[in-house]
Amino acid sequence: MKQTFLTLGAYLLTSATVIAAEPVTIAPETGADLTAALNAAKEGVTAPGDIVINLAENGQYTVSGSLEVPAGLVINGNGAVVDATSLTSAMVLMSATPAVEAGENGFYTVGNVEFKNVNVTNLSQQLFYANKTKYYIPSLVTDGCQIQIAGGNKTVYDCNGGGVVGTLDIKNSTLNSTPANTGALYSSQSGNKATEVNADMIQTFSITNSTLYNIANGKNVCTHRQANQKWIAYVVKNNVILDCGKEGQFVKGLNQGQSGTNPSYDVNTNSFLWTKDGVVTVTPEVEPADGVVLNSVGEPTSTFPQAAEGVFTLDASSAQAEAQVGAPKWLVDYVAPPTNVVVTPADGSDIAAAVAEAVAAVERPGVITINLAENGKYTLSASIQTANGLIINGANSTIDASGIETPFILMSTEPTAELIADYYRVQEICISDVTVSGLKNSVFYDNNTKYCVVDFRIVNSTLALATTAVENEALVSFKAGGAKDVNVTNSTVYGGGEVAKYFMRYNNSARLDRYGFDKEKENMNFVYVNNTFYKAIKADGQWANYSALNGQKFVHFHIVGNIWFDSSSDIIRRLSGGRVGSSDNVFDLNTYFNNGENVGDNNDKGTILTTNPGFKAPEEGDFTLGASTEQAYYKTGAQKWLVEFVAPDITEAKAALLEEIEKAKALLGDDTESEPGKALAAAIDKAQEVYDSAVFNEPVVAATEELKKAEADYTTSGINGVGADFDNVPVEYFNLQGVRVDNPSNGVYIRRQGDRVSKVIL
């Protein structure tokens, strides 16, 4: 017999029975699969109705399939995380068989659907889908949540095909996607109007106190087909909205990209942002209708470097922090931005006192710039301390630092620099055009505070060390942080070489990507050009210690024209952490002397200068080059020590080399086909090249010794002839220097007949 179904509240009526839709409440333990838990709970209920899911505080859950609900739904997250990686359909799916009957308007009126204080990760499907069924849901709420979407083109709140939401209410929440989500935030069916539910209804789209990132990127934010209607209201307040919708059209995109005055707009105190060339900027919004004031918050000082990881903590000094916009979880107390300080100490004064006075005049000091008088003379009574960047423009002045036992530059333990990826990002530390004497401690110390110095430079300066102790065993000491780029150019660093083990030392966790930079797009650059280092660190020390640079392609080196003298060995190997990774590095014309001899560097693939630079009076701080040295010829080292090159007399050395070349040619004869013969011929050619181009004695003497060795190798390997019939091969005699003798007299000779070689006495 055919049954007739009617709706009465939460009851399902038939001609035979009255079945009440029964609410279902579950509280799964942390670690559970919510899909399995909900399905199990519904199995024991004849007519499931409203669903309540209470999650454990800060619990961890998974979903293996859609959470199918026939009526209202409330998820009380209590800070729990739900991993949606396994989903191949919507996380919340309205049942195709509602718990209630349709009303006269044709809609199934159910309770609200609410996501409260829950974090969803790796969601590649819809968060909510009405399943092409004409539900009327008074409010679809996302409150205090973070919904992390894994890209794709799915709509977040999907009523396409059926269903009407009275109010879409996103508040105190974060919706973010990496990569960009190219679906809509909300979509609906063209045939289902809110006024069909109730002629007096105002359908509201409300986004307040929330952070949205990469949602509906490049698309209209909503694809509800009833846009631009008088019964629609848009409420957008106190949000940070980054890279959502089309550029500059977020609010207009809520109205499906249409302009018009029919809807009502309540838009205020938002930060509409867009990323251009990797920099987050304020994007002027296109007004969706005349007279709508968008009121964007001012320029951001934070670029959200961890947006891809779903982290949107505001910079404390940003306009967004001042306005307190965005999801509450990312808010920080506003702190006024730092004020840059410019100090111009009088000639003859104490720099530390002048800096302290200038810093005391501002609430939060930013970058400190010290402009010294040209050729001035200064003293120090304390470390030059900064909580941010520091620039010393020396103007050829001198600073006597002998009055302090502490580091020359000391970073503050209370930074005012922006905190990015757990490091306080300082744009610049620069020492330029200055001579500093009497340095008893480190040149720079980060004070065991996590600073990332983007650009660390020592340029056109002389640092005279009188070290008795250094911080963390290093002259440039990053105990908690490190630098992105290092540039030491045309400078001299010298001392006793007895205290510091390292020139530069990093914290082992500091690295480009850990600073918050994209290692696929950014580089770490180490530039050392035309410097003189003399007993800067211990002779058995290590120039740098940073193993995290080992073999990294994002690390680039430009090391040219430097002189390292009694300042340790294996300079490049230590500087690169053991192995150079990128292929476009430049190494050339560097000098590596330690303990009185050239030690070279296996990681330097360029021309290495092997002569002693012949410093005039190094113990007195005079590193004027010897006039006839390679360093003078190639103009290497700090340029203040250059002299006019005087070519050395290499006549005697060249004569000895020429004599050895003639001996080798005689020894080789016409043997150019055997392998030993080819090797000796190559050695002769190489020696000839040195003879033709040599400027210095050292390479000529070295070439002579190399050729002698090649002759000895040739002799001992067998002086090869041709032919296998030795009885018919002529006999040849050579003296012990390898010179052929046509008419040997009494003595010791090398006898060759074909491939047979022997030593004989005649």
Secondary structure (DSSP) of 194-219: HHHH-TT--EEEEEES-EEESTTTTS
Give the pLDDT mean for 105-126. Answer: 97
Q: What is the pLDDT of residue 301?
A: 66
Work out the average pLDDT over 374-380. Answer: 98
Helix (H, G, I), strand (E, B) or coil at 153: coil
CA 554/CA 577 separation, integer angstroms: 13
Task: Return the pLDDT at 16.
Answer: 37
For residue 497, the model assigns a pLDDT of 86
Dump pLDDT digits (tens) for 464-473: 999 999 999 9
Q: Does residue 385 or residue 673 have the better pLDDT?
A: 385
Q: What is the mean pLDDT of residues 298-307?
A: 77
Length of the chain: 762
Q: How high is the pLDDT of residue 757?
A: 62
Please report the pLDDT score of residue 722 as a whole number: 39
Average pLDDT in the 364-380 region?
97
d(CA 153, CA 172): 24
CA distances from 270 to 282, 286, 287, 549, 701 (A): 10, 14, 14, 42, 76
- The whole-angstrom separation of Cα 430 and Cα 371 is 12
What is the average pLDDT across 723-740? 67
Judge whether 508 and 501 are in contact, CB under 8 Å.
no
Q: What whole-number distance in Å separates Cα of residue 412 and Cα of residue 415?
A: 6
Q: How confident is the model at residue 278 (pLDDT cuts 50, 70, 90)?
A: confident
pLDDT per position as a tens digit, 570-623: 898 888 876 776 668 999 999 999 988 899 888 888 999 998 999 999 999 999
> What are the pLDDT digits (tens) for 625-666?
999 999 999 999 999 999 999 999 999 999 999 999 998 888
Give dist(CA 526, CA 457) in Å, integer.
10
What pLDDT shows up at residue 759?
54
**Predicted confidence (pLDDT) at residue 2 exceeds the cutoff of 70:** no
CA angle 5–11–16, rounded 5-degree value: 50
Q: Is the pLDDT of residue 257 over 80?
A: yes
What average pLDDT does range 695-720 have in this prediction? 84
Q: 200 — phi, psi (to 5°)?
A: -95, 10
DSSP string, 254-309: HTTT---SSSEEEEESBEEEEEETTEEEE-PPPPSSTT----B----S---TTGGG
pLDDT in tens, 503-530: 999 998 888 999 999 889 899 999 999 9
DSSP bridge pairs for 236: 207, 267
Q: Is pLDDT above 60 for 211?
A: yes
* 462 backbone dihedrals φ, ψ, rounded to 5°: -125, 125
560, 434, 409, 436: which is closest to 494 by C-alpha? 436
Q: For 161-208, write each residue's pLDDT tens digit.
A: 889 999 999 999 999 999 999 999 999 987 788 999 999 999 999 999
pLDDT at 237 over 50: yes
CA distance 620 to 114: 79
Q: Which of 294-298, 383-387, 410-414 has the lowest mean pLDDT?
A: 294-298
Provide, rounded to the nearest whole percent, the portion of the chain with pLDDT above 90.
72
Q: How far apart are CA 11 and CA 21, in angstroms?
A: 6
From CA 745, how far away is CA 762, in angstroms rounded?
A: 7
User: pLDDT per residue over 533-543, tens digit each?
Assistant: 999 999 999 99
Calculate ∠ Cα 642-643-647, nearest 5°.
Answer: 125
**Do β-strands 60-62 and 232-237 pair in parallel, antiparallel, or remain unpaired?**
unpaired
The CA distance from 436 to 407, in Å, is 12
* Distance separating alpha carbons of residues 425 and 599, to the nearest angstrom: 38
Provide the pLDDT for residue 596: 83
Q: Is the peptide bond before 179 cis (omega within 30 degrees of 0)?
A: yes
Query: What's the confidence (pLDDT) of residue 19?
Result: 60
User: What's the confidence (pLDDT) of residue 27?
Assistant: 98
Q: How far apart are CA 287 and CA 266, in angstroms?
A: 12
Q: Please determine, for residue 4, whether its predicted confidence score (pLDDT) is greater than 50.
A: no
| 719: pLDDT strictly greater than 80 | no
Cβ burial, residue 3 (10 Å; 0-12/13-18/19+) = exposed
Contacts of 706 (CB under 8 A, 6+ apart): 683, 686, 687
Mean pLDDT of 13-18: 39
d(CA 151, CA 481): 34
> Is the pLDDT at 707 greater than 60, yes or no?
yes
pLDDT exceeds 90 at position 550: no
What number is the average pLDDT over the span 697-701?
89
Q: What is the pLDDT of residue 732?
A: 81
Q: Chain-wide mean pLDDT for the chain?
A: 91
E-assigned strands of 307-417?
A: 339-343, 365-371, 377-379, 384-386, 390-400, 409-411
What pLDDT score does 508 carry? Answer: 86
- pLDDT for the residue numbered 332: 93
Do 500 and 541 form a contact (C-beta atoms < 8 A)? yes
pLDDT of the residue at 748: 62
Contact 341, 359 (CB under 8 A): yes
Do 704 and 717 contact (CB within 8 A), yes or no?
A: no
Nearest CA among 244, 280, 246, 285 for reference residue 268: 285
HSE of 411 in the Cβ direction (CA atoms, 13 Å)? 30
pLDDT recorded at residue 669: 86
